[in-house]
Structure 1
Amino acid sequence: MAKRETVKIEGLAELGKALRELPERVARNGLRVSVYAGAKVVRDEARARAPKAQQSLGPNQPPPGTLKRSVIMKHIPELSSLTRQTFFVTVRHGKKYRKQGKKGNLSQDAWYWRFVEFGTRKMAARPFLRPALEAKRREAAQAMKERLQQRVAQEAKKFSTRP
């Protein structure tokens, strides 16, 4: 099973208090869009670092670039609350590469991503997710901070213009 990396930003007690004072919808949505901005930074870096095959690997094999296209971020509402929002940056990996559906489209899932990230007995690891997080940790935190400041200012402006 893949180890999950977590980014935890300390010193946000004041932010939590301020969010609780805002209307619930505003606080939740403001925090969600700011965490989205940070997750996007990490996702984009992981896509840039994901290896790409130089040529087609043959019939019934994923085309070059499938791994890059499969790097996604996903909001997890079950793990989120008013003062906490959770996004995963991961790889879409559910199905092996095969024809599916009525039109016979090929799946875009990179089911083999773990072999690339962690290696196997016969293949050295070529990590791309973990290094992306390490490289962009500060930039992601800064993106979250900037986006939250924008959103709070935007919402404050709405409330100050009301009669």
Structure 2
Amino acid sequence: MANKAAATVSNPNGFADLLAKMSEAASESTLRQAAVAGARVIHKEVQLRAPVGPVPHIRSGKLYPAGTLKKSIALYHDDDKSSVKKALQVYGVTIGRDAFYGLMVEEGHDFSGAVAKHAKRTEFGTSKVPAHPFFRPAVDAKSREALDAMTAVMQQKLNEAKNG
């Protein structure tokens, strides 16, 4: 006597529907939401670590109050590096135009005149100009939390697809 097995399929389209929902869960919108969730974690930490000078400064006749650098930290979507076809969405944290000097602070420049014009751009400062890095330490401190935030968004979308 041969062993036989029988199966009954009560929802023949169920698997196809689940695959369609999972595909939707990995859409460009979901990827953007996940990427921006991670970028927000880094953005917040960069803002917390951005130094605030003791006095305002003037450039080309415009007054920049103390704290302009901290207020100018912004999120952006990198259209050039992002791709729907490659399932890649890239967000970044940058310094706005009002804080044109941000990279100089990050890389070891000072704003005491000639030193600012001639100091080398280096993460570690120079013999005359100390560095005040705040981007790299922020990324180092919060990269795991950023990854967790992105993972949470993706997990939520997958759960919604599975249960919805």
Query: Amino acid of the residue matched to residue 90 of structure 2?
Result: T
Provide, for residues 117-146 of structure 1, a one-character-per-residue CA deviation record: whole Å limited to 9, x for no partner. 001325211011111101101111011101
TM norm structure 2 = 0.67
Displacement after TM superposition at 1:57 (Å): 3.8
Displacement after TM superposition at 1:26 (Å): 5.5
Aligned to 1:123: 129
State the distance in 1 between where 2:159 and 2:77 align: 24
Provide, for residues 56-97 of structure 1, a one-character-per-residue CA deviation record: whole Å limited to 9, x for no partner. 34673310111011111101123212321111111113xxxx
Aligned to 1:11: none
Note if 1:22 corresponds to 2:26. no
Aligned to 2:115: none
State the distance in 1 between where 2:51 and 2:31 align: 32
State the distance in 1 between where 2:158 and 2:64 align: 44
State the distance in 1 between where 2:80 and 2:158 align: 24
State the distance in 2 between where 1:79 and 1:156 align: 30
Aligned to 2:90: 86
SS in 2 for 1:54: coil
Aligned to 1:12: none
Q: Spell out structure 1 runs of 4+ moving beyond 6 A.
A: none
Query: Which one has a bigger Cα radius of gyration?
Result: 2
- Aligned counterparts, 1:50-129, within 5 A: 50-57=50-57, 60-82=62-84, 83-93=87-97, 109-120=98-109, 121=119, 122-129=128-135
Aligned to 1:34: 34
Displacement after TM superposition at 1:154 (Å): 2.6
Measured on the aligned residues, the alpha-carbon RMSD in Å equals 2.5
SS in 2 for 1:73: strand
TM norm structure 1 = 0.67
Unaligned runs of 5+ in 2: 1-18, 110-118, 120-127
Aligned to 1:44: 44
State the distance in 1 between where 2:79 and 2:104 align: 29
